[in-house]
Amino acid sequence: MRKALAVGRKELRQIARDRRTLTILLFVPAFFLLVYGYALSWDIRHIALAVEDRDLSPDSRALVSAFVNSGYFDLAAIVDSEEELTRLMNRNEARVVLVVPPGMSRDLQRGRTVAVQILLNGDNANTATTVMAYARTIVQSESVRRRVARGETALVPLLTAESRVWYNPQLRSTLFLVPGLIAYISMITAVVSTALSVVREKERGTMEQVRMAPLNAFSFVAGKTIPYFAISLASAMGIVLVAMVLFGLPMRGSWLLLLAALSLFLVGALGLGLLISSIAETQQVAFQLALLSSFLPTLMLSGFIFPIASMPTILRAITYVVPARYFLVALRGIVLKGVGVSVVWVDFLALSVYAAVVLTLASIRLRRQWT
């Protein structure tokens, strides 16, 4: 253990002198969190709305106000011709157009059903689908409000479905994406930083001196891991705190349990980086392998963005060897649900097994190079 600590102190001094490594470990994670946290969101707001009001009545103005006051739509223009409407849509100055038919107010007062037209710019199908759902919800809410104001209680159905959303009542996509970003950023920075550490020794020619020292492969691996683990853990906890301040990420569980989950995940990531560095001969190759083994699996196969249940059978099988899969389940459970060890112990066990396997493989690889 004394030899491992000596290697760790030596590595820590080298990190302090290496500005590139410090940047990767400390500043890049914060930068990624800010960029992805603000840019990556499924909540669509500030949708440019154009209105063609052919009724010009208090009821039509109330409907337009309902769209604007919802917080999703911004009134971009009032149009009175189809040519102007087409121009706005072609130039993307309006994403949706609300067309109010003439005589709407009169028909509503007589109890007739009125159909308002909603035109959407469909060049982005996902956005158009979401915007359509927003618009339909607003129109339905206005319809119910008007029936209640008219005292038409007999039209209320006998059975209604009243939804309740647990853990994320507002269905904010931020609360779904930010935990994934924490895993994504921590994985990449930890793997890349350690993947370059051993290769740097090879390129500088200091690896031969290390082999001549009274030091075994396990002590070398442990010593290489300790300083990066401490820095990566501090960086990851900083990311969590920043996410809570900037994006309103709650903390409903145990901080100690969160620290344990981060520690297991980072040990596995650091072990993977050391394994890559024991295979690669140049820093360029190590960097590319690190990105390939951490970026794509964490982004695509962890459940960060795409649900694992909807993947083909082969890909679902591959996700079982992706550590971010288990870390995300544990992280979301601790932070959003406030669960305890009895719920996430399987994920903790999987992270422990992964960390033990990659560290063992890294030690074996380095031991072969040692002799």
Residue 352's pLDDT is what?
Answer: 94
Q: What is the mean pLDDT of the chain?
A: 78
Q: Count how many residues are written for the chain.
A: 371
Angle at 306 between CA 301 and CA 312, to 5 degrees: 65
pLDDT band at 36 (very low <50, low <70, confident <90, very high): low
Domains within the chain, CATH numbers bracketed: 2-40+172-370 (no CATH), 47-155 (3.40.1710.10)
For the chain, where are the alpha helices, taking DSSP H only? 2-17, 19-22, 28-39, 58-69, 82-90, 104-109, 125-149, 173-204, 207-212, 217-247, 255-279, 283-300, 313-318, 323-332, 341-370
CA distance 49 to 58: 19
| Comparison of pLDDT for 59 and 25, the residue scoring more | 59
Residue 116 DSSP label: P
Among the ranges given (21-35, 222-236, 302-316), the one the predictor scored with the smallest mean pLDDT: 21-35
Q: What tokens does 146 get?
A: 């008007």
Residue 220's pLDDT is what?
Answer: 67
Q: How much of the chain, in percent, has pLDDT values that exceed 70? A: 74
CA distance 196 to 198: 6
Q: Tell whether the model's pLDDT for residue 138 goes beyond 90.
A: no
Q: What tokens does 366 get?
A: 């380095």
Residue 158's pLDDT is what?
Answer: 36
Give the pairing type, strands 47-53 and 96-100.
Answer: parallel
**Mean pLDDT computed over 163-170:** 67
Which range of 167-176, 211-220, 292-301 scores highest in mean pLDDT? It is: 292-301
- Sequence-ordered strand ranges (E) for the chain: 47-53, 73-78, 96-100, 117-120
pLDDT band at 260 (very low <50, low <70, confident <90, very high): very high
Check: CB of residue 243 under 8 Å from CB of residue 178.
yes
Q: Tell whether the model's pLDDT for residue 248 goes beyond 70.
A: yes
Which range of 14-18, 140-144, 261-265 scores highest in mean pLDDT? It is: 261-265
- Summarize pLDDT for 319-366 with one digit per residue, the tens: 899 998 999 889 988 888 888 898 889 999 999 999 999 888 887 877
Residue 101 DSSP label: P
Residue 180's pLDDT is what?
Answer: 81
Q: Tell whether the model's pLDDT for residue 160 goes beyond 60.
A: no
CA distance 29 to 146: 51
Residue 17's pLDDT is what?
Answer: 62
**Mean pLDDT computed over 104-114:** 82
